[in-house]
């Protein structure tokens, strides 16, 4: 007997393609081919600009990690229509398959070529170049001072895999006292698929922009009346900042640290001793005179911790000493570089300094790495990029101490089991360092944590400790920041979560939505219970219809909405809607309290009602 007929397969199901693998976007620094493409594209763009705008003078045109740019001195501002015309000109150049050829020239030859084309900025660049001097020609009609590398010919550039993205202002040599230029930014990839993925990520980055989210959720603002780059924390943002600070402090106490509070200003002589006045003056605000003494706002916390160490005689038995501070510092940033919370003039560093014996370096670095992982993972950052920077040519300190310090960093990283790259000669003049970048939800890397050994400040301030043999020895000083700054980390975290914060961190965790005036007294009782249990809760008293109450709560990304009607009031319950888990149904208030307290104590993303 024939068996049952097989189920018909719909044509749609039969032709549904298998899910494609995610498009990987390499960085320029990771791909020699991509570097050549982007470097060549900057030349193609400059050639197209000068074909369309003969009066435009060229300056520099480097690659970036995601594309390229070129700075121009042009009499008129470039417009969006100009970018479209420039792109068309670039496509024509690409399709001609023009060769890019490297040519060595003498200084005199280069100078003659530059003067013949009336390129004053190139003359200034030429002055700083050492021989051999090389130019790259693009076809027969265009060339640029350049060390390369480039593709062989423009036919190796994909005309469907590049885009001109924006125009911005820039100063020549980054000096605001010099000529203002126009910078055209572009991006270029190996394939159209990579370009499409890059565009998707850019759109996603706009959706996650912490400045927009900060305004929409009423977290912070920067008020022009007070001054640029100075952050005002609104109640909701201040509540979140307090939660972050409390967690940070508790983690440090458990990690063996003590806390310091230090002044915001100091006599200018302190900054002379520390060297900041010599090497960091351009980033410091000007001095103020008080009682015939000059004081300076602090750009760093380090000298204050050093003075605290030097306030008494120390013994080797006291070491290691671990001190941490959420210290607000002030740095002058040029108007063009400030950006939301990411680049401000007043910010709070999560600074810490460890004073230890040479033989304690590896153990202390490992403890710092463990603490760093604990804190960053609590905010859902788990993918890291680690760089170890070693001794540069110009440095201070004894070879033996440098070797010991560098080996201590390497040993700690090996013990931690983290992969890392070595940046030979990339350390500061005063010590080797470890830099840690975190990856966010859309694949961007952010520099946050730094661990820096310092042989300079102990020497400048003549720090010492009494060793076991009674001699006085220099301590090893370790600088360390995990967030980098609270403001910047808050911005990075906000973009990582797209403003949809986990339950434990949300400024408003539960919003009660009474559907009638009759249940308002019951809602007030529930609010009182939640508040006493440490849950951040409110009542929506607007009187709007339930649909609008829910939409309003969802728009400002409240993790849990609790609907209260007559049935819920009778049952001493609420009807829960979770942003993370959807409709959770009618839940006893006691269960909500227990789950909320558990989520806060364990710092988790949502409620676990079944635990």
Residue numbers annotated as active site:
302, 331, 349, 351, 353, 433, 479
Q: Say which residue the tokens 């509070």 belong to.
A: 261
d(CA 22, CA 603): 31
For 246, half-sphere exposure in the C-beta direction (CA atoms, 13 angstrom radius) is: 11
CA distances from 349 to 232, 306, 388, 482, 510 (A): 16, 16, 22, 9, 31
Strand partners, 206: none
Helices (H) and strands (E) in the chain, counts: 19, 27
CB 217 within 8 A of CB 499: yes
Helix (H) or strand (E) holding 332: none
CB 450 within 8 A of CB 433: yes
Residues 6 or more apart in contact with residue 549 via CB below 8 angstroms: 513, 515, 540, 542, 561
CA distances from 559 to 27, 94, 325, 500, 608 (A): 36, 51, 31, 8, 13
3-state secondary structure of 233: strand
3-state secondary structure of 350: strand
CB 324 within 8 A of CB 252: yes
d(CA 29, CA 369): 26
- Residue 312 structure tokens: 């008494």
Phi, psi of 320 (to 5 degrees): -80, 145
CB 387 within 8 A of CB 424: no
CA distances from 14 to 6, 10, 278, 371, 374 (A): 14, 6, 72, 52, 47
Phi, psi of 187 (to 5 degrees): -135, 150
Of 292, 274, 293, give the one whose Cα is nearest residue 284.
274
CB 167 within 8 A of CB 184: yes
- Residue 180 structure tokens: 């203002």
* Sign of the four-CA dihedral 195, 197, 203, 206: negative
CB 524 within 8 A of CB 539: yes
């Amino acid at each position: 007997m024939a068996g049952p007929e097989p189920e018909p397969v719909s044509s749609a199901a039969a032709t549904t393609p298998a899910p494609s693998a995610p498009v990987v976007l390499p960085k320029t620094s990771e791909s020699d081919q991509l570097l050549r493409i982007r470097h060549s594209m900057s030349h193609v763009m400059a050639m197209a600009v000068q074909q369309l705008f003969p009066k435009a003078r060229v300056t520099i045109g480097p690659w970036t990690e995601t594309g390229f740019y070129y700075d121009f001195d042009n009499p008129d501002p470039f417009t969006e229509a100009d970018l479209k015309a420039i792109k068309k000109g670039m496509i024509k150049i690409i399709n001609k398959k023009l060769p890019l050829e490297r040519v060595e020239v003498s200084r005199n030859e280069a100078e003659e070529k530059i003067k013949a084309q009336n390129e004053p900025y190139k003359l200034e660049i030429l002055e700083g170049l050492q021989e051999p001097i090389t130019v790259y020609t693009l076809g027969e009609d265009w060339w640029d001072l350049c060390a390369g590398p480039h593709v062989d010919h423009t036919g190796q550039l994909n005309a469907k895999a590049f885009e001109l993205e924006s125009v911005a202002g820039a100063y020549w040599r980054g000096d605001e006292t010099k000529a203002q230029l126009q910078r055209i930014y572009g991006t270029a990839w190996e394939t159209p698929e990579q370009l499409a993925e890059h565009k998707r990520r850019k759109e996603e980055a706009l959706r996650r922009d912490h400045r927009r989210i900060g305004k929409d959720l009423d977290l912070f603002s920067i008020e022009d009346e007070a001054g640029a780059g100075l952050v005002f924390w609104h109640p909701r943002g201040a509540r979140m900042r307090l939660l972050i600070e409390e967690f940070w402090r508790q983690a440090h106490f458990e990690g063996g640290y003590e806390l310091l509070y230090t002044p915001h200003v100091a006599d200018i002589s302190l900054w002379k001793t520390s060297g900041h006045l010599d090497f960091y003056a351009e980033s410091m605000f000007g001095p103020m005179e008080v009682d015939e003494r000059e004081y300076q706002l602090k750009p760093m916390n380090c000298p204050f911790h050093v003075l605290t160490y030097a306030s008494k005689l120390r013994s080797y038995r006291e070491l290691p000493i671990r001190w941490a501070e959420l210290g607000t510092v002030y740095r002058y940033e040029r108007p063009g570089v400030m950006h939301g919370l990411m680049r401000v003039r007043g910010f709070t560093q999560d600074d810490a300094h460890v004073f230890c014996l040479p033989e304690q370096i590896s153990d202390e670095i490992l403890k710092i790495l463990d603490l760093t992982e604990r804190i960053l993972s609590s905010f859902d950052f788990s993918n890291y990029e680690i760089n170890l920077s070693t001794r540069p040519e110009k440095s201070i300190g004894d070879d033996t101490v440098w070797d010991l310090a560098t080996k201590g960093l390497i040993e700690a990283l090996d013990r931690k089991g983290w992969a890392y790259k070595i940046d030979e000669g990339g350390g500061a003049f005063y010590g080797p360092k470890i830099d840690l970048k975190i990856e966010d939800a859309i694949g961007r890397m952010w520099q946050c944590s730094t661990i820096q050994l310092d042989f300079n400040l102990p020497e400048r301030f003549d720090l010492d400790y009494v060793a076991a043999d009674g001699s006085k020895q220099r301590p090893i000083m370790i600088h360390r920041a995990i967030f980098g700054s609270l403001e910047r980390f808050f911005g990075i975290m906000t973009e990582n979560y797209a403003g949809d914060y986990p339950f434990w961190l949300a400024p408003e965790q539960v919003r009660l939505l009474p559907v009638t005036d009759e249940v308002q007294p019951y809602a007030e009782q529930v609010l009182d219970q939640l508040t006493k249990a440490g849950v951040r809760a409110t009542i929506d008293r607007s009187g709007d219809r339930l649909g609008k109450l829910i939409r309003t709560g969802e728009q400002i990304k409240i993790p849990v909405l609790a609907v209260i009607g007559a049935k819920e009031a009778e049952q001493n319950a609420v009807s829960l809607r979770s942003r993370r888990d959807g409709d959770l149904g009618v839940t006893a208030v006691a269960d909500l309290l227990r789950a909320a307290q558990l989520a806060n104590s364990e710092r988790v993303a949502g409620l676990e009602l079944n635990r």
